[in-house]
């Protein structure tokens, strides 16, 4: 459109009488400069989103590799150093002095830092450190359920979420995952959830509020669907996703006691879908789906490695990834404050989680 405007302007100048050229040319130059500047501003405004928005990074605790210099704790502290204006952290358990220091340093740089934590874990020294530094820390105040989130939003643009509790064990002993995503719309979803948690302190948890951007599309085509419990009907969405499987389902489950989801997987297995799963051994009980799946002939095992297998992950057809703080349990669905992402159309993300699955089962 800008090119067409310039061409038509030139044409009109060429048809003007010769005696008016001396007055018309300066006006034409001014108009041309305005068009060029306007185009440049529009391109500049678009360019950062085109280049940077929608990037993602997937991390694992790598406790069995000895790569402690790549720990989730250190990666998170590095992310906190980039905060320029705001950090909202919903952390079920914070006992990491390094993470607390990272939040305090951001606060001292003038960044607005706020934290929500689970009441049962509010007596940690790291929490006291934050409060002494002047950082607002709110507790969920509900004795009947957990504020089980493990997410951080930086500058209302970057989202850090997954299974990783900000504890020493979470970073250095237990198997955890984190996905870090650059997306303002996705961050808006988590920012809204964070603000609701602050507003709901001492009141009923569920507000019935809808997710601002239920479907987010990154610049590489990745589709991300966001859910929060207990507001959203997550089980129905999970069952629906399981029903779409055409070839395979892989899962890593710290706790898997939700029979509706287990039945959906058993149905797909009977339809010929390859299903493989790993359960955290310490969480297997009379309520676990493990024995029923084993009896059905499904390829499921108990994790026997050191530390806790703390993932809450499902990978469908090596393309769709389901991850977050949400255990596959009735409490996660109906009582706790949880988050879950369904990530579609990105085989690279799926392969990262499948590589973690292979590391655990081999």
**Per-residue DSSP letters for 59-89?**
EE--TTTT-GGG-HHHHHHHHHTT-SSEEEE
Q: Judge whether residue 43 has pLDDT over 50.
A: no
Q: Which residue has the higher pLDDT, 255 or 20?
A: 255
Q: 215 forms bridges with which residues in the sheet?
A: 225
Q: Judge whether residue 141 has pLDDT over 90.
A: no
Region 176-187 average pLDDT: 98
Q: Judge whether residue 203 has pLDDT over 60.
A: no
**pLDDT computed for residue 350 by the predictor:** 98
Instruction: Please give the model's pTM, rounded to 2 decimal places.
Output: 0.84
CA distance 3 to 316: 47
Whose tokens are 């669907």? That residue is 225
Other CB atoms within 10 Å distance of the CB of residue 85: 13
Q: How confident is the model at residue 67 (pLDDT cuts 50, 70, 90)?
A: low
Region 325-351 average pLDDT: 98
Domains of the chain, CATH where assigned? 55-361 (3.30.870.10)
Query: In 3D, which of 283, 295, 278, 346 has the Cα closest to residue 316?
Result: 346
CA distance 143 to 159: 28
User: For all residues of the chain together, what is the average pLDDT?
Assistant: 86
CA distance 73 to 167: 8
Q: Judge whether residue 114 has pLDDT over 70.
A: yes
**pLDDT computed for residue 301 by the predictor:** 98
Whose tokens are 């109906």? That residue is 334
Calculate helix-pair angle for 97-108, 125-132, nearest 10 degrees: 10
Q: List strand residue ranges (DSSP E) for 239-303, in order.
A: 248-253, 274-280, 299-303
């Amino acid at each position: 459109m800008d090119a067409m405007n310039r061409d038509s302007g030139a044409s009109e100048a060429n048809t003007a009488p010769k005696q008016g050229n001396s007055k018309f040319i300066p006006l034409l130059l001014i108009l041309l400069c305005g068009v060029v500047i306007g185009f440049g501003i529009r391109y500049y405004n678009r360019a950062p989103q085109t280049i940077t928005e929608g990037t993602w990074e997937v991390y694992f605790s790598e406790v069995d590799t000895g790569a402690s210099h790549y720990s989730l704790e250190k990666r998170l502290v590095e992310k906190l150093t980039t905060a320029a204006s705001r950090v909202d952290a919903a952390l079920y358990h914070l006992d990491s002095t390094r993470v607390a220091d990272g939040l305090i340093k951001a606060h001292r740089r003038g960044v607005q830092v706020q934290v929500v934590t689970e009441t049962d874990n509010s007596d940690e020294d790291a929490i006291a450190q934050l409060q002494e530094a002047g950082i607002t820390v709110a507790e969920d105040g509900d004795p009947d359920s957990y504020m089980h989130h493990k997410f951080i939003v930086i500058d209302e643009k970057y989202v850090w979420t997954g299974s990783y509790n900000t504890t020493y064990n979470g970073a250095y002993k237990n198997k955890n995952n984190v996905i870090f995503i650059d997306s303002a719309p996705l961050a808006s979803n988590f920012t809204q959830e964070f603000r609701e948690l602050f507003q709901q302190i001492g009141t009923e948890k569920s507000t019935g509020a809808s997710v601002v951007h239920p479907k987010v599309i990154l610049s590489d085509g990745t589709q991300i669907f966001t859910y929060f419990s207990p507001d959203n009907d997550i089980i129905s969405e999970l069952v629906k996703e399981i029903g779409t499987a055409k070839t395979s389902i892989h899962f890593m489950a710290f706790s898997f006691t939700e029979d509706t989801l287990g039945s959906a997987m058993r149905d797909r297995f009977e339809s010929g879908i390859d299903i493989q799963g790993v359960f955290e051994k310490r969480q297997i009980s009379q309520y676990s789906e493990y024995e029923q799946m084993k009896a059905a002939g499904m390829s499921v095992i108990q994790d026997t490695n050191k530390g806790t297998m703390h993932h809450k992950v499902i990978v469908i057809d090596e393309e769709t990834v389901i991850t977050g703080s949400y255990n596959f349990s009735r409490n996660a669905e109906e009582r706790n404050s949880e988050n879950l992402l369904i990530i579609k159309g990105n085989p690279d993300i799926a392969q990262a989680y499948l590589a973690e699955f292979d590391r655990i089962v081999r």
